[in-house]
Amino acid sequence: ETGVTQTPRHLVMGMTNKKSLKCEQHLGHNAMYWYKQSAKKPLELMFVYSLEERVENNSVPSRFSPECPNSSHLFLHLHTLQPEDSALYLCASSRGARTEAFFGQGTRLTVV
Amino acid sequence: QKEVEQDPGPLSVPEGAIVSLNCTYSNSAFQYFMWYRQYSRKGPELLMYTYSSGNKEDGRFTAQVDKSSKYISLFIRDSQPSDSATYLCAMSAGGGSNYKLTFGKGTLLTVNP
């Protein structure tokens, strides 16, 4: 395990459902990230939280809503998703100004 | 021009071969460079991390950065079937409040026994 834990590992949801992805890091880091990984495309940064404050929102549709209640936990709330949102969603964390990020195993999301 | 270019492969080599993986980039502000390895159905795993130009060696892996050419490389010596994975390059301007990592698309490597 990398120290970054994501649940669930797999999720299938209908377009009208509401679900949440959870991420927990045990590394003492103070920055957390959500990335989207689609086939044949680079990882896309979605959101960044530093010290529980959102510092970046990369033009992500409002059907994705992040929440960071403390420096160890990060959520991604999902509602009314589209089939093109099907992808691997990766959580990562880093230690502030140091830029190497450590990733979780991801949640494989399928929207039907 | 994309910020980071990486040949997606696939690259197939025999066991024991020396593997060379490369990325080019256009943003001269990048100064932190990383290589990640991603096995199928897993999250990316940090393999190498370098700052600015130069070489860094860790076991069978060597990372090279040439900022003048905006070119980075990862060499794998004595490649093993367990090295079969997708290799992602990533880079950042770093420092201060700049947390953004920019990734290449990844190169799929298969090492055949």
Give the pLDDT confidence of B66-80 residue by residue, as tens digits: 999 999 999 999 999
Beta bridge partners of A23: A6, A74
Whole-angstrom distance between the N-terminal and C-terminal Cα of chain A? 30
User: Is there a contact between B104 and B87 (Cβ–Cβ < 8 Å)?
Assistant: no
- Would an 8 Å CB–CB cutoff place A94 in contact with chain B? yes
User: Strand pairing partners for A67?
Assistant: A75
Residue B97 has pLDDT above 60, yes or no: no
pLDDT at B95 over 70: no
Mutation site, A1, A37, A43, interface B, largest B CB count within 10 A? A43
- Contact check, Cβ <8 Å, A100/B49: yes
The residue of chain A nearest to residue B9, with distances taken between CA atoms, is A40
Whether the per-residue pLDDT at B34 is higher than 80: the answer is yes
What share of chain B has pLDDT > 70, as a percent?
95
When mean pLDDT is compared across A45-54, B42-51, B56-65, B75-84, the lowest value belongs to A45-54
A109 CB near a chain B CB, below 8 Å? no
Looking at every residue in chain A, the average pLDDT score rounds to 90
CB contact under 8 A, A56 and B94: no
CA distance A112 to A42: 23
**Out of B32, B49, B103, whose CB is closest to A42?**
B103
Residues of A in contact with B27 (CB under 8 A): none
Q: What is the pLDDT of residue A98?
A: 58
Chain A / chain B CB contacts < 8 angstroms: 62
Nearest to A34 by CA among B111, B87, B99, B112: B99
- pLDDT tens digits for A64-101? 999 999 989 999 999 999 999 999 999 999 887 556 88
Locus of tokens 């992805």: A21
